[in-house]
Amino acid sequence: MKKDRTPSLLLATLVALLILGLVLPEWRFLGTLAIGKGLTVLGLLLLLRTGLVSFGQGLYYCLGAYAAGTLGQFWGTTDALLLLVVAGLAAGLAAAILGILLAAYRGIFFSMLSLALSMILYGLLVKSAALGSTDGFNLPAPTLFGLPLVSHDSRYPLFVLACVLGVAAALAMHYYFRTPLGRLSPAIRDNEIRVEYLGASVRAAVHVKYVIAGILAGVGGALTGMTVGHIDPEMAYWTTSGEFVFVAILSGTGSVAAPFLGSFIFELVRTFAYEYSPNSWQLALGTAMLLIIVFLPAGLWSLVQRRRA
């Protein structure tokens, strides 16, 4: 059997990222942001491998951010780890409850229902005056064990935390795909009935995967909120979820590292496109998406794989 090189590659990437972050301070913000969104896309990758497209991951992304935000804003908690755990738990709990409903759906019905659910949260948040309605609110600067993660001259500690988190999540997902439950994903996508005949419950498997995706999105949302320092209901709007779907399609489902690479490229392109042609960057995105669907159905990661093969 071929030796599994992914864990060592991921750890090497972590070291490389930490060094890069040290020498290139102006890239830390973008990097942290990309990891926050990459976590959400990682969850979407899991769903995509199962053959499900969620047009509502913004729900958990936003929920995680708001869970961390309310805790920070109204109870004065600034410990990043605590906030991330709470965000993950809140999103996971919501996913566990809504998953009961969603696990029975496939195809566009799964997409539509997840979209509807995220729009419910959006509808609630824009009318919640206590949570700042459409403006949202600011997050206090996060700390870790009492030490500040973000100060006016350095974002390095938060960047380190994000990198560790991202690599840990990618590793966990990598090992998850090797468990029997993880291996069910492509099987469910290919032929659900056979999976049932083999004695596995498709519904239960989809439910678990949906909860995992929810937790990842919740943590990702909280991390993004901490990085930007501000959260608003737009995070639950369907266009945000659409963006995640876009990045997931862009990166492809070939590797657990692909979502992070994909969202880094996405954030990079967006930053420059906003600067140079704010009115035509979506046009470029849409064109890129069409090209990928037609010519690279397995996403950008298939380019990496093709070279290796």
Partner 1 sequence: MSALLAVVVDGVIYASWLFMIAVGLTLIYGVMKILNIAHGSLYALGAYGAASLAGYWLSQGYAPFGSYAALLAAAALVGLIIGPLIERGLLRFMYGRDEIILLLVTYAVFLILEDAIKLIWGVDPYIISEPYGLLGIVEFANLVYPTYSFMLIVVSLAVGVLLAWVLHRTRHGKLLAAVIHDREVSQAMGVNVRRYYLATFTAGAILAALGGALTAPTVSVVPGMGVEVIVLAFAVVVIGGLGSLPGAALGALIVGLLRAAAVHYAPALELFSIYLVMALVLAFRPQGLFAGEQVRTI
Of 59 and 222, which has the nearer Cβ to partner 1? 59
Q: What minimum distance in Å lies between the beta carbon of 272 and partner 1?
A: 16
| Angle, alpha carbons 170-10-220 (nearest 5°) | 30
* Radius of gyration of the chain from its Cα atoms, rounded to whole angstroms: 19
Note the residues at the interface with partner 1 (CB under 8 A). Answer: 53, 101, 105, 107-109, 111-113, 115-117, 119-120, 122-124, 126-127, 191-193, 238-239, 242, 245-246, 249, 279-283, 285-287, 289-290, 293-294
Residue 252's region, left for phi above 0, alpha for psi from -120 to 50, else beta, is: left
Q: How far is the CB of 124 from partner 1 (least distance, A)?
A: 5
Using the minimum distance from each CB to partner 1, give the nearer residue, 122 or 264: 122
CB of 174 to partner 1, least distance (A): 25
Instruction: Decide if 58 contacts 236 (C-beta within 8 A).
Output: yes
Provide, rounded to whole angstroms, the least separation between the CB of residue 85 and partner 1: 28
Output b/e per residue, 63-96; b: 16+ Cβ within 10 A: bbbbbbbbbbbeeebbbbebbbbbbbebbbbbbe
**Closer Cβ to partner 1, 79 or 192, answer by number:** 192
Q: Which is nearer to partner 1, 8 or 134 (CB)?
A: 134
For partner 1, give the closer residue by CB, 1 or 294.
294
CA 309, CA 248: separation in Å to the nearest integer?
Answer: 23
Residue 209 Cβ vs partner 1, minimum distance, rounded to whole Å:
16
Task: Please choose, from the candidates 37, 43, 35, 40, the residue with its C-alpha nearest in 3D space to the C-alpha of residue 210.
Answer: 43
Q: How many helices (H) and strands (E) does the chain have?
A: 13, 4
How far, in Å, are 135, 160, 179, 254 from residue 262 at the CA level? 29, 19, 25, 12
Nearer of residues 120 and 269 to partner 1, judged by Cβ: 120
CB of 309 to partner 1, least distance (A): 25
